[in-house]
Amino acid sequence: MSWTKKVLRINLSAGTCEAEPLNMEWAELYLGQRGLGTKYLSEEVPPTTEPLSPENKMYLITGPLTGTMASTAGRYSVVTKSPLTGAVACSNSGGFFGNEMKCAGWDMVILEGKAASPVYISINDDNAEILPADDIWGKSVWEADEWLHSKHQDPQLRVAAIGVPGEKGVLYSAIINDLHRAAGRSGVGTVMGSKNVKAVVIRGSKGVHVDKPKEFFEATNAAKAILAGNPVTAEGMPTLGTQVLMNVINEMGAMPTKNWQHSVFEGASKVSGEAMLEPRESDGKANLTRNGACFACTIACGRISTIDPQHFTVKNREDLHHSYHGNSGGLEYEAAWALGCDTGIDDIDALTYANFVCNEQGLDPISLGSTIAAAMEMYEEGIITKADTGGIDLSFGNVEAMVKCTELVGAAEGFGLELGMGSARFCAKYGHPELSMTVRSQEFPAYDPRGIQGMGLGFATSNRGACHLRGYTVASEVLGIPIKTDPLVTDGKAELQIGFQDATAAFDSAGICIFTSFAWTLDDVAPQLNADSAGEWTAERLAEIGERVWNLERIYNEAAGQGAIADKLPPRLLNEAIKAGPAKGKVNGLPVMLPEYYRARGWTEDGVVSEETKARLGI
């Protein structure tokens, strides 16, 4: 079977690296990655633990399908307690790092304690070492990656590292692997930095074994054929990436603009996936150099881009050797929205540059752009001034200001440290918490829940704070997958959101990309797991695992003070109607949907996981 049944536990305080068996009883109940990592977290890290203390732990964990020939089976997750939200954090990344971990013979790597000085972790199959990182502490992710490859003299080495913001406590720092794939949300890179760990490098040569090879080959081929026949996974995403959504969401009037004051952005077409394909006047080349794929992926939604060589951002940064030559990831939808639409900027090269800085230094572009947007509204309202911003004119649409703020957060200097708190803490500091577009202190992604009602319920109840990847009802409400539902009504959205949340938890735990769910259902995942791993795996069993994972996360959050008390939306989305477009006049109907959601979940009226539900799921 493709579980290695081995865990590498690294105690940074003691300086030890020890192997131990994977808890297979837990694996049977929680599968892997998100689910199994959360189970380990809930058993080993009390919910009241301070996230940046040595007592917090990090779980870098694969799924049973990770490293196999299943499409998109290159995923791994980082599970910890979030410093941004105070809730459970699980950040999922693609690229090639997860596959390398599995090929080295490990299902999971646990980091606990705190090193006395900067270190990195080197893993080569069964051999693990804690090595000094003084030479790369204070360096960017890209510089660290280059140094590590040079030191180990192995071009196939896979690196997951943090930048300067992770070292200095920016609360939405990411872990970047393969230069531009990110465990991006909830500040997992900040936790890594708090442990004095700069990077984890892995080289694996053992390969991955499945339980029934012939059946697995047949099951994965059948599943790949489904992806190849679906217009989203076979055409839309390979051609335009996640940016396929920019014009679609804008045209339906659900594009959050200028810190969610508006829901249509006039410049959306200039920063869209289609715009990335257009030749520019300066050199006749397009922003998009090519698409790219993570390990084993047959969708290839990744973007590889270059910036106009005449653009001021490139002239300011001649050291951008990776990005300038097109070796780093280009704009994806969430980054283009947060850094662009939300700040009122339609300069595609400036957005590409800012996104490169996020990759270079390890930042979540959603939280970064959203925090800058909140600061811009506060600046235009006179709540903050140039005396607060270090002389920066933070007017909406000011390209130079957005770039400067991005660079400052990337360097963790000056006003960048203020923005590095995230919008919830930043807005609260200046007396206007209502201007932070967050749930559980995590910034929203790019869907206005006044125009897509089910997403509002999903944002409010997401266990890791505002997130689209925990219950993507946009698939149904906008794209009609698996069925079309009306985005402007609240009826039935509780059950719809629960279905998406539980299925997503199962996909995340299996070791595959959530984008496969545009074409696959659990009926398509089950045969692959059934041939991959011992035992009987059905769609019904996977749905129950997804529900169990969701409820376990909720129980952990309840004990951490992030339960029903945090199931809220900002007042703007509940009280201020959309001003123009197809959703004009709409506010989000969370007060109607939330009680229905609690009932459908089998929770109490107060939103607490009931004893009956715990017993039914074996939690």
pLDDT of 1: 63
- Calpha distance 174→166 (Å, rounded): 7
In a domain, 231, yes or no: no
pLDDT of 315: 72
User: Mean pLDDT throughout 576-591?
Assistant: 97
User: Mean pLDDT throughout 12-36?
Assistant: 98
Say if residue 139 is in the same domain as residue 197: yes
pLDDT of 316: 67
Say if residue 403 is in the same domain as residue 472: no
Residue 4's alpha-carbon distances to 62, 138, 532, in angstroms, are 10, 35, 12
* pLDDT tens digit sequence for 132-182: 999 999 999 999 999 999 999 999 999 999 999 999 999 999 999 999 999
* Tokens describing residue 107: 């299902």
DSSP state of 371: H
pLDDT at 321 over 70: no
Q: Do residues 297 and 512 lie in contact, with contact meaning Cβ atoms separated by under 8 Å?
A: no
Q: Do residues 409 and 368 lie in contact, with contact meaning Cβ atoms separated by under 8 Å?
A: yes
Say if residue 385 is in the same domain as residue 285: yes
Say if residue 83 is in the same domain as residue 187: yes
CATH number of the domain residue 153 falls in? 3.60.9.10
Q: Do residues 174 and 188 lie in contact, with contact meaning Cβ atoms separated by under 8 Å?
A: yes
Say if residue 191 is in the same domain as residue 328: no
* Tokens describing residue 184: 């991006």
In a domain, 448, yes or no: no
* pLDDT tens digit sequence for 63-83: 999 999 999 999 999 999 999
CA angle, 474 as apex, 291 and 288 as ends, to 5°? 15
Say if residue 396 is in the same domain as residue 532: no
Amino acid at 603: W
Q: Do residues 172 and 185 lie in contact, with contact meaning Cβ atoms separated by under 8 Å?
A: yes
- Calpha distance 474→230 (Å, rounded): 17
In a domain, 596, yes or no: yes
Which residue range(s) make up the domain with 351? 257-436
* pLDDT tens digit sequence for 515-537: 999 999 999 999 999 999 888 99
Q: Do residues 292 and 304 lie in contact, with contact meaning Cβ atoms separated by under 8 Å?
A: yes
Residue 98's nearest CA partner among 126, 144, 61, 58 is 61
* pLDDT tens digit sequence for 251-274: 999 999 999 999 999 999 999 999
- Calpha distance 256→138 (Å, rounded): 35
User: Mean pLDDT throughout 228-243?
Assistant: 97
pLDDT of 329: 84
pLDDT of 314: 77
**Quick one: angle between helices 365-380 and 348-361, nearest 10?**
120
- Calpha distance 245→237 (Å, rounded): 9
pLDDT of 223: 98
DSSP class per residue in 43-58: HHS-TTS-TTSTT-EE
pLDDT of 327: 55
Percent of the chain with pLDDT over 70: 98
pLDDT of 328: 67
Q: How many helices (H) and strands (E) does the chain have?
A: 28, 16
203 strand-pairing partners: 124
Q: Is 87 helix (H, G, I), strand (E, B) or coil?
A: coil
User: Mean pLDDT throughout 572-580?
Assistant: 97
**3 state SS for 463-509:** CCCCCCCCCCCHHHHCCCCCCCCCCCCCCCHHHHHHHHHHHHHHHHH
Percent of the chain with pLDDT over 90: 95
Residue 453's nearest CA partner among 252, 240, 178 is 252
pLDDT of 313: 86
pLDDT of 2: 80
Question: Residue 129 — pLDDT band, cuts 50, 70, 90?
Answer: very high
Say if residue 36 is in the same domain as residue 156: yes
Query: What's the number of domains the chain is made of?
Result: 3
* pLDDT tens digit sequence for 404-458: 999 999 999 999 999 999 999 999 999 999 999 999 999 999 999 999 999 999 9
DSSP class per residue in 280-327: PTTTS-BSEEEEE--TT-SS--EEEE---TTSHHHHH-TT-HHHHTT-
Q: Do residues 471 and 448 lie in contact, with contact meaning Cβ atoms separated by under 8 Å?
A: no
Which of 203, 219, 243 is at the close of a domain?
Answer: 203
* pLDDT tens digit sequence for 473-495: 999 999 999 999 999 999 999 99
pTM metric for this prediction: 0.97
pLDDT at 323 over 80: no
CATH number of the domain residue 470 falls in? 1.10.599.10
pLDDT of 202: 98
302 strand-pairing partners: 292
Residue 97's alpha-carbon distances to 76, 102, 260, 287, 541, in angstroms, are 8, 9, 36, 27, 28
pLDDT of 319: 64
User: Mean pLDDT throughout 293-309?
Assistant: 94
State phi, psi for 78 to the nearest 5 degrees: -115, 115
Q: Which residues contact 297 (CB under 8 A, 6 or more apart)?
A: 71, 72, 74, 94, 513
* pLDDT tens digit sequence for 341-357: 999 999 999 999 999 99
In a domain, 228, yes or no: no
ω into 155 cis (within 30 of 0): no
Which of 401, 436, 471 is at the close of a domain?
Answer: 436
Say if residue 52 is in the same domain as residue 95: yes
In a domain, 214, yes or no: no
- Calpha distance 185→82 (Å, rounded): 9
In a domain, 475, yes or no: yes
Say if residue 274 is in the same domain as residue 422: yes
Amino acid at 491: D
- Calpha distance 257→266 (Å, rounded): 9
Say if residue 279 is in the same domain as residue 421: yes
Which of 408, 436, 464 is at the close of a domain?
Answer: 436
Q: Do residues 233 and 81 lie in contact, with contact meaning Cβ atoms separated by under 8 Å?
A: no
Residue 10's nearest CA partner among 157, 108, 141 is 108
In a domain, 246, yes or no: no
DSSP state of 435: G
In a domain, 251, yes or no: no
Say if residue 382 is in the same domain as residue 492: no
Say if residue 423 is in the same domain as residue 475: no
